[in-house]
């Protein structure tokens, strides 16, 4: 079993990761090909292709930083959360030994996750959670028009819009009142961000749509496009962002007894009777 | 082109339908095999198989009454609304001549709609819109537990639950705050009905689940199971309802320029800027 | 200290209440003038006037049954919940001795609660929590128009409407997505019940309004008016219900360290960080 | 009748206002004491005291810029919207002649509007609509704790919080799912901004509370405090903002047939049947 080890460079240094984790994996017959900061990339893709799995040390945010690389190279990700368990990570900080054993013996549950593609400013970006268009300032609104397959569907003034995958339905989309969506599904959710209107609801559309977001007016400042929690582009009135499905998927490894609904219950109290 | 004509027996009599509509269809080379009240059935299925299309005269509710027959026999439905246009009907009362021409020339847009199956009290029922379990009385609550593929996911006291298809997302599920879902999708939405808890949201799950609704307690009276707006069964505490996907689909015919989003805008003002 | 003891006749018999609780109160110098089932009334009001407090043994529902009597006679209520603590009860089943001591020494926190009045079918009813108009059947909708001070404000088809006091904001109104309102406030919340429209929100209006609910049409069956969880009247299309503020208040006694927000947190998990 | 004329300096120049509007008011016996850009102030307060009314030429935002001056000097505001009618303005651009006549003859409807006070960074600010604390960046979250009268009530990670007056309930608070509140009421609404939790709802509390917002952590950048749509302060983790009721009020003049509910219907489609 060969692995590349990714870590959150804001929370750890490469030497510490090497010192703390290398032996654990080595003792379980996992060969660590390389230790890399999440979000970085190699000039030459060939090393990725040698890996059987990407091991990510960090929270959900760190897994998101590795998602595109995982999708491009069709290598599954397993996340080990150094803090508390997240939605995307499989093991918490007390379970590293177990993680190593499960990875070595391939005692894992794999699920393929639907991805979005975002086209803006000549770039193409891949998203596992969500793409947002948001005003840059805490004041004023942006005037948005959203077209689905070329047809104008939503018009409103507000803070922006979130387009999310089923995986992203427990992220920022949840904060804006969106539904919770089983992550095995292939679909796109359009959630207005603070639209100043009553006649708008979260809208769930099939993955074979392409969605254009046109910025007609910004009261103050600019607007930003974010992908999985990173700012990727600054846009102005008159510009557009196009979002569609990706043909690729991320394969996410979890513990073998993984249950999405149990994670929902543990992390959000979803469906739990409090009294 | 051969058709069976269904009508809403609460709004019209068979003779009136015959008198008013027979000639219009006949003049357009549509042979009317039979005129039947929606919700009724023939002892012998063979006549259905001779039809190319089921023409339904009435509103969305009348279309729902014919959905099961349409699915069982794989005959598409086209709805002509004698009142204002609905979500399921294709033509309104001023467009009967055009409807006849479009049907005769097969100038129609067809879409396959996902269906739910409901098992309760030894019966199997098919739903195009939604299945609900509801308390029978305007007072008190029911204690529900909802299991997905055998796993307990939701526990709450409330008025009941709505399970809906994407087609049903613009019906009762909308009234309870559910998301709007493109009708081409195959998935199940679980919407609690007035759950007395904060930690519950609409839940969208894949079509390959089976869902059990267990009634643990009813404060007053009984509970009812409804399918597409009809009461189909009365249940008591300790009983369960099982819902899963149907292998069948209903093929719904619309005008050739049909747009789901345009209907949303016209009927609900969805996404429209008011000022 | 003189008290009348009310009990939930569905959960206990008078003799059992007498046997279990009389001595506890007597030993704490609380004279029990009478033991009565909640919801019953005496022909002669004079005994109520002799009481310093109404002690209610039962849950929130039992307190609601005594609220009108408490308001009419200006006698405060203290609730002892024989099950788990509610929003209105002050003590739970393990705290009866402490309750007796606190009542005897007047070591209590009193709050005056705003009440609604409902006029229907020649009757006037008083509500501490909420007044609803609801369809009688789990199918179909009612067409409602709601006027505020004679002005038509809301028009929709749905399951009905909830008008609630701030005290009732944690009851059925919460289940329908209403805001949580501090119970010291004097105001009326209008919450549509499953309105089939997007352009409606919970509406909070001042206590000096009168509100008319006109039923224009009922698809199936009748509609019911409920007050604090009891059916009080059956109405038909064409009839109206009028709701306004009451001049009276209910004085509710709680423990001296009572905090509304602590109850919210304990009973609903409100505002609590789960992870 | 003496008036001070305020205008939006982003939309007009003083000379244009003078030229366009001076004669209209003069011809109706309204003496214009001064023409000032909204948001500016005089060194000497005595001129304000000579005015009977502040006439504001501009939209709701321009009225908000004059609110504090109006409250401090107890001079009513009448807004003339040069675009489309807003929630706060009384006349639209086609009604200037009528506005002048109504002002001159005092044919107006006055309502006193509840105000909030915000203490941050040694400053005290007055708000007619809302006070927000928001993260400065479109990425990451802020960790907030909200205390009411010294008691910790809400703990969450999200984009921030909106505290609004009843007047502000149709502004940004509406965009975040808050209830609509009759503007004559004196109360404070606390609306979380995209809280990443399920167990939070809009909370309506009485005006005799003081509310502390403590920022425990900011993922990226800083946080901003805004008052009525203006950034007033930049804060960092560890800092707090305190909000309470103001003893002052703004007196807002509207047309004599003013109806809050009619404005809701016209501007938001609130309660209107679309079909």
Tell me what the mean pLDDT of segment D179-185 comes to.
98
In the predicted model, is pLDDT for residue B85 greater than 80? no
**pLDDT by residue, tens only, chain C of 275 residues:** 999 999 999 888 999 999 999 999 999 999 999 999 999 989 888 999 999 999 999 999 999 999 999 999 999 999 999 877 789 999 998 999 999 999 999 999 999 999 999 999 899 999 999 999 999 999 999 999 999 999 999 999 999 999 999 999 999 999 999 999 999 999 999 999 999 999 999 999 999 999 999 999 999 889 999 999 999 999 999 999 999 999 999 999 999 999 999 999 999 999 988 76
Residues in chain D, total: 275
Cβ contacts (< 8 Å) between B148 and chain A: which residues? 261
Residue of C nearest to D267 (CA): C199
Active site annotation includes B112: no
pLDDT value of residue C82: 83
Going from N- to C-terminal start, the domains of chain D cover 2-106, 115-247
pLDDT value of residue C275: 61
**Could you read off the pLDDT of A122-173 as tens digits, one per residue?**
999 999 999 999 999 999 999 999 999 999 999 999 999 999 999 999 999 9
CATH 3.40.50.1370 fits C115-247, yes or no: no
In the predicted model, is pLDDT for residue D151 greater than 90? yes
Nearest to D9 by CA among D58, D64, D70: D58
- Domain D2-106 belongs to what topology? Rossmann fold (3.40.50)
**Could you read off the pLDDT of B94-104 as tens digits, one per residue?**
999 999 999 99
pLDDT interval class at D232 (50, 70, 90): very high
pLDDT value of residue A275: 61
Mean pLDDT of chain B: 95
Cβ contacts (< 8 Å) between B268 and chain C: which residues? 197-198
Cβ contacts (< 8 Å) between C178 and chain D: which residues? 179
pLDDT interval class at B43 (50, 70, 90): confident
Residue of D nearest to C258 (CA): D151
In the predicted model, is pLDDT for residue A68 greater than 70? yes
Tell me what the mean pLDDT of segment A20-45 comes to.
93
Backbone angles phi, psi at C256, to 5 degrees: -65, -25
Tokens 């033509």 correspond to B91
* Catalytic residue, candidates C60, C92, C112, C219: C60
Q: A195: which residues sit within 8 A by CB, 6+ positions away?
A: A156, A157, A158, D175
Tell me what the mean pLDDT of segment D158-167 comes to.
98
State the Cα–Cα distance between residues D85 and B211, nearest whole angstrom: 50
Q: In chain A, pLDDT over 90 holds for what percent of residues?
A: 90
CA torsion C32→C38→C40→C46, rounded to 10°? 40
CA torsion C125→C130→C136→C139, rounded to 10°? 160
Q: A185: which residues sit within 8 A by CB, 6+ positions away?
A: A114, A166, B187, B204, B205, B206
| Distance in Å, alpha carbon of D257 to nearest chain C alpha carbon | 12
Helix axes C96-104, C14-27, angle to 10 degrees: 50
In the predicted model, is pLDDT for residue A93 greater than 90? no
Cβ <8 Å between C199 and D269: yes
Cβ <8 Å between C176 and B158: no
Which residues make beta-bridge pairs with B132?
A: B162, B226
User: In angstroms, how far is CA C238 from the centroid of its own chain?
Assistant: 28
**Could you read off the pLDDT of B50-77 as tens digits, one per residue?**
999 999 999 999 999 999 999 999 999 9
Most D-contacting residue of A175, A264, A265 (CB-CB within 10 A), to test interface = A175
In the predicted model, is pLDDT for residue A84 greater than 80? no
State the Cα–Cα distance between residues D127 and B47, nearest whole angstrom: 72
In the predicted model, is pLDDT for residue A95 greater than 90? yes
B230 known member of a binding site? no
State the Cα–Cα distance between residues B24 and B100, nearest whole angstrom: 7
| Distance in Å, alpha carbon of C196 to nearest chain D alpha carbon | 10
In the predicted model, is pLDDT for residue A46 greater than 80? yes
pLDDT value of residue B275: 60
State the Cα–Cα distance between residues B195 and B197, nearest whole angstrom: 6
**Could you read off the pLDDT of D115-125 as tens digits, one per residue?**
999 999 899 99
In the predicted model, is pLDDT for residue A96 greater than 90? yes
Tokens 């009708």 correspond to B183
| Three-state helix/strand/coil letters over chain A | CEEEEEECCCCCCHHHHHHHHHHHHHHCCCEEEEEEECCCCCCCCHHHHHCCEEEEECCHHHHHHHHHHHHHHCCCEEEECCCCCCCCCCECHHHHHHHHHHHHCCCEEEEEEEEEEEEECCEEEEECCEEEEEECCCCCCEEEEEEECCEEEEEEEECEEEEECCHHHHCHHHHCCCCEECCCCCEEEEEEECCCCCCCCCEEEECCCEEEEEEEEECCCCEEEEECCEEEEEECCCCEEEEEEEEEEEEEEEECCCCHHHHHHHHHCCCCCCC
Tokens 């190279």 correspond to A73
Q: Which chains touch D (3 or more CB pairs under 8 A)?
A: A, B, C
**Could you read off the pLDDT of D139-148 as tens digits, one per residue?**
999 999 999 9
pLDDT interval class at D275 (50, 70, 90): low
């Amino acid at each position: 079993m060969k692995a590349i080890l990714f870590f959150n460079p804001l929370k750890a240094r490469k030497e510490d990761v090497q010192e703390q984790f290398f032996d654990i994996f080595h003792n379980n017959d996992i060969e660590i090909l390389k230790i890399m900061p999440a979000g970085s990339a190699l000039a030459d893709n060939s090393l990725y292709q040698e890996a059987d799995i990407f091991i990510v040390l960090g929270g959900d945010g760190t897994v998101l930083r590795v998602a595109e690389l995982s999708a491009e190279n069709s290598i599954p990700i397993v996340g080990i959360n150094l803090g508390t368990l997240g939605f995307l990570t499989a093991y918490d900080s007390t379970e590293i030994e177990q993680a190593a054993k499960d990875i070595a013996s391939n005692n894992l549950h794999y699920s393929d996750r639907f991805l979005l593609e975002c086209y803006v400013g000549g770039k193409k970006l891949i998203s596992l959670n969500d793409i947002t268009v948001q005003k840059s300032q805490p004041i004023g609104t942006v005037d948005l028009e959203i077209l689905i397959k070329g047809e104008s569907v939503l018009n409103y003034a507000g803070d922006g819009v979130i387009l999310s995958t089923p995986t992203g339905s427990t992220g920022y989309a949840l904060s804006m009142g969106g539904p919770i969506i089983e992550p095995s599904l292939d679909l796109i959710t359009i959630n207005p961000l603070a639209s100043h209107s009553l006649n708008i609801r979260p809208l769930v559309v099939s993955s074979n749509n392409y969605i254009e977001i046109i910025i007609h007016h910004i009261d103050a400042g600019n607007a930003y496009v974010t992908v999985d929690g990173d700012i990727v582009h600054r846009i102005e009135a008159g510009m557009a962002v196009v979002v569609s499905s990706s043909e690729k998927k991320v394969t996410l490894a979890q513990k073998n007894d993984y249950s999405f609904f149990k994670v929902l219950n543990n992390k959000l109290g979803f469906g739990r009777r409090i009294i």
